[in-house]
Structure 1
Amino acid sequence: MSKATKRKHVTKEVLDDYVLPEDNQTIVKILGGKGNNLHEIETSEGEKYLVSMPTKFRKNVWIKRGDFVLIQPIEEGEKVKAEIVAILYAEQIKYIQSQGKWPKEFVPLASTEVCADISSDDDDSSSGSDDLFVNTNRPQCVYESTDSSENELSDSGANKDDD
């Protein structure tokens, strides 16, 4: 199988499969990447440890800080205690919530709901704005346009003419 075909199948599987956690699987939040396909996670109980990304996801699917994943524990690990089974996106999270299997400790879509409210106020359209990418590494700034900067420029220009 070529790399492009593999990427297509893995991406389709990640986006289209709606999975529910089984008995030994848990939903966790990604705290950050640690290199070598290891990620630090936090469980709903507050426990933090490392998980590994399986070979099929490497270089095909990217996860970032704040994403939710489904993990399965591995027996041989002391530092790395589990392996990622599935990466959960907004629609999959909504499905899990509707089935009543979502941990109460995680509030997944709070930041995207705020952004959706802001964008819907600006253009009054609800065209899936909750699916927009929000860069969590940058502070959210709201810029207001004022005419004071234009007035200052014209005032400073008038002073030069007087001299």
Structure 2
Amino acid sequence: MSRTTRRKHVFKEMMEDDFELPKENQKICKVVASRGNNLHEVESSEGPETFLVSMPTKFRKNVWVKRNDFILVEPITEGDKVKAEICKILTPDHVKEYTKQGVWPKKFTKKREHSEERDGGSGDEFMHRNTNRRVVDEEEEDEDTTSDEE
């Protein structure tokens, strides 16, 4: 299977999810930092502790996670430093569904609402904003064009 085909299947599997609720042994975590070599430092929903999780082979070079993304992890027994493995990368649709079902941790709720207010709740939460471009509001554009015409 080619790299493109594999990537397509991984994305399809991730996006066409049936919003299955987390199992007993799975936890919702927030990515704090990437530590390289397919390892990520995450913050647990149960306490202030941070620990390392590994990216499974099927996600490597196909799906990327960044700081402040939410993931579903499953604990592993091997190793001392790496405590869990990523099961699922949560999209904003997952967050909404988990909140409706009452499964979403209260620790992550306030921060998510604050970021929606800052972004303006445009509905494009999954699309990332390019920080290298200046953000121009439509109102500013209209003012600029009218002042040029005079």
TM range (shorter): 0.7 to 0.9
What is the aligned-residue identity percentage?
Answer: 51
TM-score normalized by the length of structure 1: 0.73
Letter in 2 for 1:13: E
Name 1:155's counterpart in structure 2.
Answer: none
Letter in 2 for 1:10: V
Letter in 1 for 2:57: T
1:45-81 deviations in Å (ceiling 9; x for gaps): 1110100000000000010000000000000121000
1:133 Cα offset (Å): 1.8
Q: Any conservation in 2 of the 1:10–1:60 contact (CA below 8 Å)?
A: yes
1:109 Cα offset (Å): 4.6
1:90 Cα offset (Å): 0.4
Which structure 2 residues correspond to residues 35-50 of structure 1 after superposition, within 5 A?
35-44=36-45, 45-50=47-52
1:112 paired to 2:111? no
Letter in 2 for 1:9: H
- Identify if the C-alpha distance between structure 1 residues 4 and 129 changes in structure 2 by more than 3 Å, giving closer, same or farther: closer
Which structure 2 residues correspond to residues 1-163 of structure 1 after superposition, within 5 A?
1-17=1-17, 18-44=19-45, 45-107=47-109, 108-117=112-121, 128-134=123-129
Give the paired residue count.
137
- Structure 2 distance, partners of 1:97, 1:53, is 25
1:2 Cα offset (Å): 1.7
- Structure 2 distance, partners of 1:32, 1:86, is 17
- Structure 1 distance, partners of 2:26, 2:129, is 28
1:130 Cα offset (Å): 3.9
Q: Any conservation in 2 of the 1:116–1:130 contact (CA below 8 Å)?
A: no
- Structure 2 distance, partners of 1:53, 1:129, is 26
TM-score normalized by the length of structure 2: 0.79
5+ long unaligned stretches in structure 2: 144-150
- Structure 1 distance, partners of 2:50, 2:37, is 18
- Structure 2 distance, partners of 1:132, 1:54, is 24
- Structure 2 distance, partners of 1:129, 1:10, is 22
Letter in 2 for 1:46: P
* Bigger Rg, which one: 1
- Structure 1 distance, partners of 2:113, 2:92, is 8
